[in-house]
Amino acid sequence: MENVVIKPLGKVLEQAGLISDLQISTALEIQSQYNRVKFGTILVRRGILKQQTVDFFAEQLPELLQQPKTQPLGYYFQEAALIDPQQIETLLKEQKETGMLLGELAVEKGWLREETLNFFLQHLGKTEKKLKLKLKFLSPSHQEIIQPFHLETKAASPYSLLKEVFSWTGGHPLLTRQICQVISDYNYFIPAGVEAVWVNKLVQDYVINNWESQALGEYLKTIQDYLLNKAICLPSTLLRLYLQILEQGEISTNQSREEEELINLGLVIKQENKLKVSNRIYQAIFSQDWVKKQLFVLEAKSQTTSNQAGKTTLNTKKNSTATKIKNEPLTQIAALTVLLGLLVISPIVIFLNNSQHKLSQENDSLDSQSLSMSTLCVAPIPAEDATREDWLIRLEQEQQQLQEQFPDNCQSNLDKLIVLNAIRLGKENRVLDGINNLCKISATSESFNQAKFWLSRWYNSADWGEQTQLYLRSIPNCPATEKL
């Protein structure tokens, strides 16, 4: 064990993460002017440390290092006036609920620095082996994402660094992993106390600025494309609701279909019946200015379409009036010709009608089937889940019957329905069934990017990531797993 007794008090306190090198230099300079004033007294008078903390490190710690360690760490934290009795009581209660170590909880709450905990673990723990703080996140999947990046070698306080990363990503696994990769690749060691500044700089430089060409560009483009072109609800309606949330920070939920779609897309989360933007990265990229620009473009397109439709109607009316005026002298001749034609053709029509009656009855079911398929292929996809599911079943039946002759527009609608059905299954916590749906989408389909997007969300999900990854290993061919 390292013997801290022989070290000056200032170095011991610095090793414990309680004072900085600058504070040591300042205190020593003051002490050189007032020889009789103790180093610890200067720290107390300047409000840097409490008197009880100085006394613990100057007097009690040297004695404790010579004795067997029989007390829990919480006792020593309290003796050093680093945590008060009420905080200890809170930590012990939460320790029972979470199973986390008391020191870990204290660091998570910001009551202790990571360096301070490591110092106490090293010198006052019950074993002589030097222990490091084991970071625990909200779920095992978070640990699996962050551990490979060795962030303890990139920052003086990895825990504080990760807190800043999560402040940007909101815990989104894919976003978190990408920012951790940026930090890992960055050739700079981040000192304690400036984590927020550095994370902000790296996020701006490598995620937000020129985001279309950054590493997360394809993922973010998929969200943008779905919101503007592939959503079930009107894009303008979704954008206005999203803009309202951006402007107000949060709004009360009313269980609307638009809210549901924004939540499914991941742009918005619901907490305690309030809707909020999922994370600061989405808020920075899909900002108020971005939303207003998209609304302007949509309104301009709508106005152009309306004007073109009006011109077409007006031209049709003009042509109809001109034709009527031009052909007025021929009206009487046309009437006589029609009358003569009726006298000659009527018997023929009656004969043909009778001859075709039987044939028409035989083909009636086939025509009805063809019409039904045509309607399913060209009509807008319904918003109701039950109707959508019925369409999906009927189109799949048609696909099996027609095989290679299945029309492209039918296949396009079928693929869209498959993706929508997968999303519904995911909402019902039937993600594995949803994966089976998404794996049906071919790489050449218009819906392929959507299938990849939703499969990626489940693959990186804290709740479903592990099951999704295991399940995909059992599926030999799934186009949507590309680059996961």
Higher pLDDT, residue 130 or 420: 420
How confident is the model over 41-72, as pLDDT tens digits?
Answer: 999 988 899 999 999 998 888 888 887 777 88
Q: Share the mean pLDDT of the chain.
A: 78
Q: Give the least confident one: 80-89, 152-161, 337-346.
A: 337-346
Quick one: average pLDDT of 408-421? 85
Q: What is the pLDDT of residue 358?
A: 47
How confident is the model over 143-199, as pLDDT tens digits?
Answer: 555 567 877 778 877 777 888 898 999 888 889 889 999 999 988 888 877 888 899
Quick one: average pLDDT of 234-241? 92
Q: What is the pLDDT of residue 291?
A: 93
Angle, CA of 467, 468 and 471, to the nearest 5°: 85
How confident is the model over 128-154, as pLDDT tens digits?
Answer: 333 334 344 334 444 555 567 877 778
Q: What is the pLDDT of residue 244?
A: 94
Sheet with strand 274-277: strands edge to edge: 251-252, 274-277, 268-271
Is the pLDDT score of 478 beyond 80?
yes
How confident is the model over 345-369, as pLDDT tens digits?
Answer: 545 444 445 544 443 444 444 344 4
Angle, CA of 262, 267 and 273, to the nearest 5°: 65
Q: What is the pLDDT of residue 399?
A: 75
- Quote the percentage of the chain above a pLDDT of 70: 76
Q: Give the least confident one: 114-123, 150-159, 291-300.
A: 150-159
- CB distance 454 to 478 below 8 Å: no
Q: What is the pLDDT of residue 408?
A: 79
Is the pLDDT score of 476 beyond 80?
no
Domain range list for the chain: 9-124, 140-209, 327-366, 385-481
Q: How confident is the model at residue 467 (pLDDT cuts 50, 70, 90)?
A: confident
Cα–Cα distance measured from residue 116 to residue 17, given in angstroms and rounded to the nearest whole number: 5
Q: Write down the pTM of the prediction.
A: 0.48
Q: What is the pLDDT of residue 81?
A: 93
